[in-house]
Every structure is written in structure tokens, then in C-alpha cells.
Amino acid sequence: MSKLVTIYGGSGFVGRYIARRMAKEGWRVRVAVRRPNEALFVKTYGAVGQVEPVLCNIRDHISVRAAMKGADAVINCVGILVPQGANRFQAVQAEGATLIARIAAKEGVKSLVQISAIGADAAADSDYAKTKAAGEAGVLKYFPSAMILRPSVIFGTEDQFFNKFAAMVKFGPVLPIFGGATKFQPVWVDDVAKAAVLGAEGKAQGIYELGGPDVDTFKGLMERMLKIINRHRYVISLPGFVAGAIATAGDAVQMLTGGLITNKILTNDQIANLKRDNVVSEGAKTFADLGIKPTPMGAVLPDYLWPFRPDGQYDAIKASAKNLRKSS
């Protein structure tokens, strides 16, 4: 019988790519999610019955154990960018990750992969970064042979980075950002999936920092994006006091509405994160140590950002037609 992997958060942005690759490698894949009925699309990643979504909440040890029963490998992709309701940074990224590792050790799971993030640091100002570090510590305490992946900002068809800002440019001639000088090393989601598969197969362990071949500032990344979508906008890096006021207002609205309105614009925790570069550390183990050549942004971004061009899929055709009229 083929081996079984349980992927917590396997229907999310990163998890779905890992699930697809594990299925292609012949594994049976159990996708553990809070809403299995919204994750039925993962069934198409393999043969009939090979990939199945199951109910699980990583804050609940009974459902975590049930989803893991009989698994040979476990991959935890669960993470949040903004706390909502009971899903707080501490509960999800620290306690949830630790719970998965503790149960995996008791269940005799052979390999464990934890998706963390560059910048995970117990001494960071950001709760996001602190709880990512706490999650890593909990994983290594109970499962010392685990693989921990720390990607920089991840890009891909369903990302919440380039897609988010490309959508924002429709609303005016200015694209406001905070931390324009902060450096990033964007990594393609499928390259992260390749690394995770190696960990699940027991071919690699330890901490790896994953960054693509391109390093650029936040502002530089936005300017690259604008060129791809053929939009002319002024990228303005907001001063700290303005960004702080926006974030505080947004956080207050979320708190006063009991989470009914989520602050998806800018949070104070994100401001703290944006004050630090998000690039691979000197001396860290990287893609090179895994034998993976990371994919440049230019090879992928045009494939999914074209809907944001002024004329969408017809943008290039209309530009070509204009050139023909000029030449005639």
C-alpha cells in the first residue's frame, strides 16, 4: 500500500501545491482543514480516493490526532496573517504547531515538515514572527528530526501579495505602501512545495531558508509588478506616523466589531514585520542544499497577473494593433 501523508492546511495557498506534488509522487494524501466541503477541489490532484479532505482544527487535539492516524509523514502549512476570533497567532502558529509535533512523535510518524517564515525570531517586535519562532521551537522539542522551511514572501497564482497590490492600482494614480526600502527575496510557491516533498520523503531535515534568485525592495517589487500589468502609478512609501494611524484605525475597527470586519489593509503587527529585511540569512541552508534551482519572478508573474492589465488578455493584441496603425 502507498504511503500516507497528512497535510494540515493542505487546501491553502502553499498546501495545495504540496498536496498536488505528493499525489504525483504516489502518496495517499489526507488534507486536514476546518471546512472540508470547501476543499473538495483537492480530490482532482490524484486518482479517485487518493486525495481526501478531512475535518480538523489544529487548536483541537482530538481532531489533530484523528487526522494523523496512520500517517507516515506530516506537513503543517497552517498559518495566519491577521488574527480572527479564536484563531490568534499564539494559538495557531505556536501552540498548534507544537501540538502537531507532539502527537506526531507519539503516533510514530516518520517525518515532519513545518512551514515557517524568514524572520521567525523569539525576540522580534512582531507577534507573527515571535509565534513562528515559538512554533519552530515546539516542533524541534518533540520532533528533533523535523524539516523547517522558512520562505520569504511567496508568490504564485493565488498569492496574497502581488494579487493584492495589483488589485489596488485600479483605485487611483497612487499606490501607497509602507516599508518601501525593506528588502524581499520572493520565492515561487511550487519551489517551496518541492522542498517540502523532500522533507516528507525523509530526504532532508533541519532548517532551510528559502528565497528566489531575485532580491529587491518592496518599492522595487511594486514597480516590477506595474510594468507587467502595464499600469502607470506612483509608488509612494508612507511615513511611519501615517502608516501607524491607518493600522491603528483598522485594528480598532476589527476589535470593536468583534472580528466581523477584518483589518485586511495594514495592521500594526505587519508594520513591525516590514521594518526588517525578509531575505535569506548568511550561512543558512538554502535551496542549493536541496538541489533545487529557484524560479525567477519574471518566469511566473506574467502568467497570472495579466487580468490586472487595462485590457486583460487582449492587452498585447491591442498594443500590436496600435503599432500597425502607426506604421501604416
Q: What is the pLDDT of residues 282-307, one digit of tens each?
A: 999 999 999 999 999 999 999 999 99
> Domain segments of the chain: what residues?
4-156+186-210+278-294
pLDDT band of 187, cuts 50, 70, 90 = very high
Whether residue 328 is predicted with pLDDT greater than 60 in this model: the reply is no
Question: Residue 321's pLDDT is what?
Answer: 67
Q: What is the pLDDT of residues 85-123, one digit of tens each?
A: 889 999 999 999 999 999 999 999 999 999 999 999 999
Whether residue 165 is predicted with pLDDT greater than 80 in this model: the reply is yes
Question: Residue 259's pLDDT is what?
Answer: 85
Can you tell me the distance from the alpha carbon of 285 to that of 295, in angstroms, rounded to the nearest whole number?
17
Q: What are the two backbone dihedrals, phi and then psi, of residue 258, each rounded to the nearest 5 degrees?
A: 65, 25
Which residue matches cell numbers 512554533? 135
Average pLDDT, the chain: 95
Question: Residue 311's pLDDT is what?
Answer: 83
The highest-level CATH class for domain 4-156+186-210+278-294 is alpha beta
Whether residue 262 is predicted with pLDDT greater than 70 in this model: the reply is yes
Q: What are the two backbone dihedrals, phi and then psi, of residue 312, each rounded to the nearest 5 degrees?
A: 55, -130
Whether residue 326 is predicted with pLDDT greater than 80 in this model: the reply is no
Fill in the DSSP letter of residue 294.
Answer: P
Share of the chain above pLDDT 70, in %: 97
220-180-293-143 Cα dihedral, nearest 10 degrees: -170
Question: Residue 149's pLDDT is what?
Answer: 98
Cα–Cα distance list, 46 to 75, 94, 97 (Å): 18, 32, 27
pLDDT band of 10, cuts 50, 70, 90 = very high
Question: Residue 320's pLDDT is what?
Answer: 67
